[in-house]
Structure 1
């Protein structure tokens, strides 16, 4: 069988490199930095596929300049807003992503964010690391518990449902808002709110697990934050653009929102400096899917999708 060639613009775990190199010739071009558009155009000459991840923007101008040998674009991510999928389709390029394999890792990270924000982990870690801890007292860093609280989830896809399963194990009641209501078997007893505003009013904990779209950009703004119960906890595991940073920072600063757990940020890797001044913010650097099991599964599903494409078979992870 003809050995296919893949051009990679991002660093990958060693085990994933071995996986991709099994049967394919791979050019690993993004080890030190993201290649420029010019470097991608020249580097992909003679390659069959371009493999990127979110820092690499594959826009229409780049797509129009790709060599004719490139027939597929694979993104090492679930999100695909960094790729002009319409332009790819117009130019006859197949696009692949990594759906479903990140669900468990991101759901686990969501619980970490919820607990970190609710139990004041940022303050507790600083107290220890800065040598300021003077011993236990009954008034030291009292946070809020999850048991008995109402969790509102925005976006009840696979990730939202996995979060709901774990939250129930903590004794939480689950409500959700979605573009459409789930069938009862998938709802698993969660309360559906056709209106986002209605969901916010009952969400003592709010988890944003929705994708980045034009409709969700700036979804959590000052007006909607004002609908949350006093002392709510906000968690974002979806995309940074869903939150209006200035509005959330203001609410965290004056106590309307008790705490936030954030794994994603608008404009990342840049982070709004206002978050660093707030002790009630528990932050992670976009590591929701960062388990080696997940990283290997991401590589496998992309390789499987490309092989299916090259063999003329349908691929479960093909977008266009």
Structure 2
């Protein structure tokens, strides 16, 4: 008998077909609405495979209802939505999809940097609202990118790809990481520095580190106070890495110049969130990997990981 699989969000038909060749598939069919918790609790009871997204909270309570589950295939690089310890205790394999979204996320990060520094969204809104009556010397002026200093916190795959893009803008690149990357320092002309020094020197600070207990609120009031008042903070990693209340006050008081955010601590973000009220914040709905080609690669890799485990083979990317 084919193993049973539950897919928590509507994915492209070719991905479903690929899984159906080996499995019995049930799928939540609402494309833009997360599967309700009650539905997921019922569906997980008899499946051997779970194909899920970051939007699903796969916690200890939910895993306690899983009687047959062998694999959780997360269609994401991150996996903080899964209780890894609980999964390990139950002998459940957890997989993710790193690598395939590196370049796309680096593209988006640099685009967000440019949009925040040159006030692109604000300028577009200014024109569309009918406020553009004339040209004036300092109207909607922003910060230069070419030749500026970029500080990257977290020099993983995406951080390195971002640095390659920054080289084309002749930027000086500082980075902070738990361990030094000597090969990348030589290849990309990077300078390793402690985080406080990076914050003080950089014109742009890009957060590229994973979300862990150690990085929760990594950027708070103290760190923001170290930055230049012309500095721009970009976060395309995870929302909880930045203390959002502290960021709001720093932006409101002019302690830093602007921010570009693709992620929030609670997603979807509420429309009354204070950061959304500020003109010097560019906000996006977590679209770092949102190109058609990349999302298809992520779904395909998640399907491969799922099927390999169910066929008693090693998945391509295993978390635990």
Please classify the TM superposition score into its range, dividing by the shorter chain length: over 0.9
Task: Kindly indicate whether residue 280 of structure 2 is the aligned counterpart of residue 280 of structure 1.
Answer: yes
* Deviation by residue 1:250-302 (Cα, 9 ceiling, x = unmatched): 11112221111100011121246221221111111101110111111111111
What does residue 65 of structure 1 align with? 65
What does residue 152 of structure 2 align with? 153
- Alpha-carbon shift at residue 41 of structure 1 (Å): 3.4
Q: Which runs of 4+ in 1 moved over 6 A?
A: none
- Quote the Cα distance in structure 2 between the aligned partners of 1:83 and 1:135: 53
Segment drifting more, 45-54 vs 91-100:
45-54
RMSD: 1.9
Say if 1:255 and 1:41 are closer, same or farther in 2 by CA, change over 3 A. closer
SS at match of 2:127: helix
- Quote the Cα distance in structure 1 between the aligned partners of 2:234 and 2:8: 30
- Quote the Cα distance in structure 1 between the aligned partners of 2:184 and 2:264: 33
- Quote the Cα distance in structure 2 between the aligned partners of 1:261 and 1:14: 34
What does residue 292 of structure 2 align with? 292
Say if 1:35 and 1:185 are closer, same or farther in 2 by CA, change over 3 A. closer
What does residue 54 of structure 2 align with? 54
- Alpha-carbon shift at residue 19 of structure 1 (Å): 4.3
Is the CA contact (8 Å cut-off) linking 1:6 and 1:48 kept in structure 2?
yes
Task: Kindly indicate whether residue 65 of structure 2 is the aligned counterpart of residue 74 of structure 1.
Answer: no
What does residue 115 of structure 1 align with? 114
Is the CA contact (8 Å cut-off) linking 1:74 and 1:97 kept in structure 2?
yes
Is the CA contact (8 Å cut-off) linking 1:122 and 1:281 kept in structure 2?
no
What does residue 39 of structure 1 align with? 39
- Quote the Cα distance in structure 2 between the aligned partners of 1:16 and 1:73: 16
Say if 1:131 and 1:162 are closer, same or farther in 2 by CA, change over 3 A. same
Is the CA contact (8 Å cut-off) linking 2:71 and 2:310 kept in structure 1?
no
Is the CA contact (8 Å cut-off) linking 2:72 and 2:306 kept in structure 1?
no
- Alpha-carbon shift at residue 105 of structure 1 (Å): 1.0
- Quote the Cα distance in structure 2 between the aligned partners of 1:161 and 1:27: 39
- Alpha-carbon shift at residue 18 of structure 1 (Å): 4.3
- Alpha-carbon shift at residue 15 of structure 1 (Å): 4.7
Number of residue pairs aligned between Structure 1 and Structure 2? 317
* 1:106-255 matches, cutoff 5 A: 106-185=105-184, 188-193=188-193, 195-255=194-254
Say if 1:121 and 1:22 are closer, same or farther in 2 by CA, change over 3 A. farther
| TM-score (normalised: structure 2) | 0.93
Say if 1:30 and 1:74 are closer, same or farther in 2 by CA, change over 3 A. farther
In structure 2, the gaps of 5 or more residues are none
What does residue 313 of structure 2 align with? 313
- Quote the Cα distance in structure 1 between the aligned partners of 2:202 and 2:14: 41
Is the CA contact (8 Å cut-off) linking 1:16 and 1:295 kept in structure 2?
no
Say if 1:138 and 1:269 are closer, same or farther in 2 by CA, change over 3 A. same
